Amino acid sequence: MFYGTFWALVFGFTLSGAIQAFVTKNRMERVLGNHSPKVIAKASFLGAVSSSCSYAASALAKSLISKGADFTAAMVFMFASTNLVLELGLVLWVMIGWQFALAEFVGGAIMIVLLTLLLPRLFKNIKRQASSLQILDEMSAGKATWKDACGYTIGDFTMVRVELLIGFIVAGLATLVPVSFWNRLFLSGHGLLSSIENALISPIIAFISFVCSVGNVPLGAALWHSGISFGGTIAFIYADLLAAPLVLIYRKYYGGKIALRMTLTFWFVMSLSGLITEGIFKTFNLVPKVMHHKMSMNHIGFNYTTVLNVIAFAVLLWVYQMYRSDSSAQSEFAKDLVCGMQVRIADAPASGEYEGKMYYFCMPGCKEAFFAAPEKYL
């Protein structure tokens, strides 16, 4: 799974670093500064073409918010970048059938509509809180260089490296669990009740079992062939943004209370979207027949993945070389000891002295947490 997602991680985090360094707050507010239908459509398109893995998408969304993007627009971007992407559709088509590839885009559009309706009502104060995450102000952004962007890229990797490791380990262990075990968790033969239960439970299974929206397709296909409902399978595929390590990352980015609300909202939206998609496909007789057999694991696009990984490795070497090329450049950044984020010292949103040493933070909340219990972080 790491082999299949390495390139997306590198490209996603590199793009996130570039956004933090080069994109000014005013520019981002002009492009994604609200959640009007036009802006939501734009965020959906930009997310789809960015084609990120779940971890990189969360970093990109955080960077967009820190630069002034509307929270709802940033979340739509994050969902689109992991669920409305061509490679996911191709993998679904090959492994399960064209109906699932079509359902990816139909259900993805439904999720975006639901998010647009729910998020502004459930996260009314998120704009004010997220603004404290701003990393570069308008003046410093104009002087940014690629060395700065590489510093932010390395910082983002450093911040979530533990969660990434946990995600890959959990995903690997999940492949060792017999499909029959998962199958016993889902109702079957009870009509609408089975569909509702399957759609509600499958995102919870995704919470503990996978890495990204492409990486969980094999398990999703196995569940489908074992008898889970069409809507339940779709909800499972959608639930890439509910992986346990990602929830921990949300907690680092936005705080515990907001992360919990995000998780519950995402779960509801994914489950409901799966149910609605199943209803639409049943209406038009597009739900394929379940074929109970052991699925063969086809390897998709050796050349496609290999070439992208080679390019990504070269990019990663360049990023690291830029970051390490000048010792003075490293002294421009400091690590926020609370959340692990890399902070540019000259533009740190918060700082404070403790026992004769200066510490820098990505937002006032991290500063408050540090000085409340400094021994916890030192």
| Higher-pLDDT residue of 41, 253 | 41
Share of residues in the chain with pLDDT > 90 (%)? 27
With 50 as the cut, is the pLDDT of residue 298 above it?
A: no
pTM score of the predicted model: 0.68
Return the domain boundaries, the chain: 2-322, 333-376
Q: Which long-range contacts (CB under 8 A, 24 or more apart) does 324-329 make?
A: 325/147, 326/147, 329/147, 329/151
Helix, strand or coil, per DSSP, at residue 364: helix
**Can you tell me which residue has the tokens 């027949």?**
289
Dihedral angle over CA of 259, 260, 261, 263, nearest 10? 80
The set of residues, in sequence order, having a beta carbon less than 8 Å from that of 161 and lying 6+ positions away, is none
Q: Which of 18, 83, 21, 17 is nearest to 53 (CA)?
A: 83
Element (H, E) at 353: strand 350-354
With 50 as the cut, is the pLDDT of residue 155 above it?
A: yes
- The arithmetic mean of pLDDT across residues 291-310, rounded, is 59
Tens of pLDDT, residue by residue over 231-260, are 999 999 899 899 887 888 888 888 889 999
Q: Please tell me the predicted confidence (pLDDT) of residue 164.
A: 61
Tens of pLDDT, residue by residue over 281-296, are 999 999 998 654 444 4
Tens of pLDDT, residue by residue over 104-115, are 999 999 999 999
Helix, strand or coil, per DSSP, at residue 184: coil
Kindly report the backbone phi and psi dihedral angles of residue 165, in degrees, each rounded to the nearest multiple of 5, phi listed first: -60, -45
Task: Choose the most confident range, by mean pLDDT, from 142-151, 244-253, 260-269, 305-314.
Answer: 260-269
Q: Please tell me the predicted confidence (pLDDT) of residue 3.
A: 67
**Can you tell me which residue has the tokens 């990504």?**
312
- The arithmetic mean of pLDDT across residues 169-191, rounded, is 73
Round to whole Å and give the CA distance between 107 and 249.
25
**Bridge partners of residue 351, in order along the sequence:** 360
With 60 as the cut, is the pLDDT of residue 101 above it?
A: yes
Query: Do the Cβ atoms of 174 and 243 come closer than 8 Å?
Result: no
Least confident of 112-116, 215-219, 310-314: 215-219
Round to whole Å and give the CA distance between 281 and 272.
14
Least confident of 177-186, 241-250, 310-319: 177-186
| Higher-pLDDT residue of 168, 267 | 267
| Cβ count within 10 A of residue 353 | 9
| Higher-pLDDT residue of 88, 117 | 117
Task: Choose the most confident range, by mean pLDDT, from 31-35, 228-232, 253-257.
Answer: 228-232
Round to whole Å and give the CA distance between 160 and 252.
9
Q: Token pair of 48, please?
A: 């789809």
Q: Please tell me the predicted confidence (pLDDT) of residue 134.
A: 44
Q: Please tell me the predicted confidence (pLDDT) of residue 133.
A: 44
DSSP labels, 107-126:
HHHHHHHHHHHHHHHH-TTH
Alpha helices in 51-190 (DSSP H): 54-66, 71-83, 86-95, 98-122, 126-131, 138-141, 146-174, 179-183
With 50 as the cut, is the pLDDT of residue 135 above it?
A: no
Q: Among positive and negative, which fits the CA dihedral 369, 242, 80, 38?
A: negative
Q: Please tell me the predicted confidence (pLDDT) of residue 128.
A: 45
Task: Choose the most confident range, by mean pLDDT, from 67-71, 181-185, 214-218, 326-330.
Answer: 67-71
Round to whole Å and give the CA distance between 270 and 84.
14
Q: How confident is the model at residue 200 (pLDDT cuts 50, 70, 90)?
A: very high
Q: How confident is the model at residue 53 (pLDDT cuts 50, 70, 90)?
A: low
- The arithmetic mean of pLDDT across residues 356-375, rounded, is 83
Query: Do the Cβ atoms of 243 and 211 come closer than 8 Å?
Result: yes
Tens of pLDDT, residue by residue over 72-86, are 999 999 999 888 876
Share of residues in the chain with pLDDT > 70 (%)? 72
